[in-house]
Amino acid sequence: MFKKFYPTIYAESAYIVDFQKLYQKGYRVLILDVDNTLVPHGAPADERAVAFFQEIQGIGFRTCIISNNHEPRIKPFAEKVGSAFIFDAGKPAKKGFQKAMKLCGGTWENTVFMGDQLFTDVWGANRAGVRSILVKPIQKDTEIQIRLKRLGERVVLPFYFRYRRKHPKEL
Going along the chain from its start, the domains and CATH numbers come out as 3-166 (3.40.50.1000)
Positions in the chain short of pLDDT 70: 1, 141-142, 144, 147
pLDDT tens-place string over residues 9-36: 999 999 999 999 999 999 999 999 999 9
Per the rule left: phi > 0, alpha: psi between -120 and 50, beta: everything else, 4 is alpha
Report phi then psi at 27, rounded to 5.
Answer: -75, 140
pLDDT tens-place string over residues 57-72: 999 999 999 999 999 9
Q: In this structure, are residues 134 and 10 in contact, taking their beta carbons and an 8 Å threshold?
A: yes
Helix axes 47-59, 71-81, angle to 10 degrees: 60
